């Protein structure tokens, strides 16, 4: 009876911290072995602050389909999956597919964890400055997994004026046909003035 797995095993309080080492903060694409200490550190944080057991897993592949297959294969062991330091745009498809195909929570920390922390910082800044969230203008510098998730979280929280800037400049809907899909999607819901230019112009 599969339903007893949460009562009779450690599954209910065990999370997998999974990475391919392709986008380790500040270090870039350093590979599986070099990413292991970062995953061990994340596992220690889960235990220290949430009393959740976690197992770091690094995958020696950066192929989207192989990563999805590997995570699905080990998923029965875990109550949740924490994806970590997987480069964009692959991370978007990997997370979306795993959410759809697994029956346990899947969380890409670089997107959602970062966005939650940045939104908390924004709330504190608004209190200090005495400003309303609907009246401010925000520029997100970087259109990777964290930046795009921050922009989406800000929109959901009520920020009305957001521009995302990446290495190609300000992401604008009028240039969406020249952008990769993940940038085109955010350009359609931000930068309502359709401005273009550099970070300085934003």
Residue 120: the pLDDT is 98
CATH at 130:
3.40.50.720
Integer Cα distance of 176 and 191 in angstroms: 12
pLDDT in tens, 10-24: 999 999 999 999 999
What would you measure as the largest C-alpha separation in the chain, in angstroms?
60
pTM of the full predicted structure? Answer: 0.87
Considering the domain architecture, whether residues 99 and 116 belong to the same structural domain is answered as no
In 3D space, the residue among 191, 193, 192, 167 whose CA is nearest the CA of residue 180 turns out to be 167
Considering the domain architecture, whether residues 74 and 142 belong to the same structural domain is answered as no
Rg (CA), the chain: 19
pLDDT in tens, 176-193: 999 999 999 999 999 999
Considering the domain architecture, whether residues 99 and 125 belong to the same structural domain is answered as no
Considering the domain architecture, whether residues 121 and 177 belong to the same structural domain is answered as yes
Considering the domain architecture, whether residues 44 and 87 belong to the same structural domain is answered as yes
pLDDT in tens, 111-145: 999 999 999 999 999 999 999 999 999 999 999 99
pLDDT in tens, 60-118: 999 999 999 999 999 999 999 999 999 999 999 999 999 999 999 999 999 999 999 99
């Amino acid at each position: 009876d599969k339903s007893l797995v949460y009562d009779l095993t450690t599954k209910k309080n065990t999370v997998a911290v999974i990475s391919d080492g392709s986008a380790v903060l500040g270090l870039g694409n350093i590979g599986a072995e070099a990413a292991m200490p970062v995953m061990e550190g994340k596992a220690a944080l889960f235990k220290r602050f949430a009393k959740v057991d976690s197992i770091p897993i690094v995958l020696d592949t950066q192929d989207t389909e192989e990563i999805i297959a590997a995570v699905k294969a080990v998923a029965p062991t875990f109550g949740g999956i924490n994806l970590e330091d997987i480069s964009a745009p692959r991370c978007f498809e990997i997370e979306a597919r795993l959410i759809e195909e697994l029956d346990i929570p899947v969380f890409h920390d670089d997107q959602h964890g970062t966005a939650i922390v940045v939104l908390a910082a924004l709330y504190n800044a608004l209190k200090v400055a005495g400003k309303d969230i609907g009246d401010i203008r925000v520029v997100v510098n970087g259109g990777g997994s964290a930046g795009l998730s921050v922009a989406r979280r800000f929109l959901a929280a009520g920020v009305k004026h957001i521009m995302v800037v990446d290495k190609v400049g300000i992401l604008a809907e009028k240039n969406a046909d020249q952008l990769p899909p993940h940038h085109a999607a955010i350009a359609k819901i931000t930068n309502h003035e359709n401005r273009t230019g550099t970070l300085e112009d934003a």
